[in-house]
Structure 1
């Protein structure tokens, strides 16, 4: 994936679960041209932490470099944290 895409960000997402289990890391790309739920996952989890309510359970994380799609089905009551490492583009 080239950095020519407008607003391109490359993420590496790891989900920590109750009991110590870990899902990931999952590589995911987001841009205005690439459909991926990586940002929505983090926004929804943050909203859950504030309100205790969850309305969405399935997220698709697209890795454009390897041409993979990861599907995560999560109940946030079982999640203890989400780590999102974002590759920053140069100047």
Structure 2
């Protein structure tokens, strides 16, 4: 997990790229992606972030609490039973 926007975009682009070494894993998906080239260019990520979560949006208030290590409903400190694994590694 990272807060760095540049690193987030790097991880997302890596996770979403098609990199099959054995087509038998998922033949229909491999056939659909054959010849696909992601030609999207999102610019450079050298500047400061243009936005951030401020806590004014109700949808994100729970996430902000979790980022601080607090339970989103009770507000008590979260005690993790096992190490957290970034969701991108579970795909």
Larger Rg: 2
| TM-score past 0.5 threshold | no
TM-score (ref. length: structure 2): 0.23
TM-score (ref. length: structure 1): 0.23
Q: Where is the strand percentage greater, Structure 1 or Structure 2?
A: 1
Larger relative contact order (Cα-Cα within 8 Å, sequence gap ≥ 6):
1
Q: Where is the helix percentage greater, Structure 1 or Structure 2?
A: 2
